[in-house]
Amino acid sequence: MKFNAFWIEKSDDGVNQSVIERNVDDLPEGDVLIDVAYSSLNYKDGLSATGAPGVTRNYPHTPGIDASGLVTESSDSKFAVGDEVVVIGFDLGMNTPGGFGEKIRVPSSWVVKVPEGLDLHSIMIIGTAGFTAAECVQKLESAGVTKDSGPVLVTGATGGVGSVAVKLLAQLGHEVHAVTGKPDQKDFLESLGAAQIMSREQVLEGVDKPLLKEVWGGAVDTVGGDMLFNAVKGLRYGGSLAACGLVGGANFSASVLPFILRHVNLLGVDSVQLPVDQKEAIWTRLGSDWKLDLTSLEETLTLDTLPNAIERILKGEMVGRGVLQL
């Protein structure tokens, strides 16, 4: 059985991207075979598709860290032919052929049934990026951040994670301060519910200071680097920051002072290895009390338009969510 897939080859001469025809028999062993209907483009996919060190080990390869589709074969009784399912994280699109192909075969422990309130399309507008945003909000919620705690800062606010975080937090009644390096996206961020738009430069002021003025009750940081810890230094007493990204760097200047003087929390967020039962719980919320209309964020992609979109997401030029239709 043949299917089309986005194919990355890496050699001493560089990285080559193409669309090729593959055979289902070439897929790895697994419990569930899925006809992929949609995937989405995430920053991590861009790194994998361009051969960035430390992301994907084995080439040639098909990226795509998330996928939604219909079960066509299953050796696990939890899933039947025709079930609508979603897969995000684990090894999908890293070293296991991912959602940028029309078929995937994966362990059943990676698979979640699409919950009521979502469908194959809407769940991929959310995708890994939107799921990560929801996981950040859940972390803040669990740490006691409420709409009465003070404004919530969102860095990288026009990106996939940031834009969904702004939308969800605003919908839940929070005052959202959105940080962006794209001043021309002010109207876009305000349409998502941002109450205040801040530049990167504003948030990076005072990197050399141990503490900053207490402003935010919570924060979602998608950037990393010094922006992350400046946000920590600007948290109100007892505030929390959920950290999920590193496009601004993996390292930052820090001290213990915000933690021991202001009782703040720095919360790590990982959507890759999060156990599937916890993924199911968050997906259920995104189909019910956290349901979002994200159609305004969507840019439709095809296998042929992926190379340009990959280039744009790595340059920080993409706004919202790129959804791949297969």
Residue 266, strand partner residues: 241
Indicate if the pLDDT at residue 248 is higher than 90: no
pTM for the model stands at 0.94
- pLDDT for res 102: 98
* High-pLDDT (> 90) share of the chain, %: 94
pLDDT band at 128 (very low <50, low <70, confident <90, very high): very high
Instruction: Give the start-to-end residue ranges of the domains of the chain.
Output: 2-114+294-325, 128-268
Indicate if the pLDDT at residue 253 is higher than 90: no
Indicate if the pLDDT at residue 262 is higher than 90: yes
Q: Same CATH topology for 2-114+294-325 and 128-268?
A: no
Q: At what angle do helices 276-286 and 122-142 cross, to 10 degrees?
A: 110
Mean pLDDT over residues 203-228, rounded?
Answer: 95
pLDDT per position as a tens digit, 31-84: 999 999 999 999 999 999 999 988 999 999 999 999 999 999 999 999 999 999
Q: Could you tell me which CATH number the domain at 128-268 has?
A: 3.40.50.720
Indicate if the pLDDT at residue 247 is higher than 90: no
Q: What is the chain's mean pLDDT, rounded?
A: 96
Q: Could you tell me which CATH number the domain at 2-114+294-325 has?
A: 3.90.180.10
pLDDT per position as a tens digit, 74-121: 999 999 999 999 999 999 999 999 999 999 999 999 999 999 999 999
Indicate if the pLDDT at residue 299 is higher than 90: yes
* High-pLDDT (> 70) share of the chain, %: 100
pLDDT per position as a tens digit, 135-166: 999 999 999 999 999 999 999 999 999 999 99
The set of residues, in sequence order, having a beta carbon less than 8 Å from that of 21 and lying 6+ positions away, is 2, 3, 4, 5
- pLDDT for res 38: 98
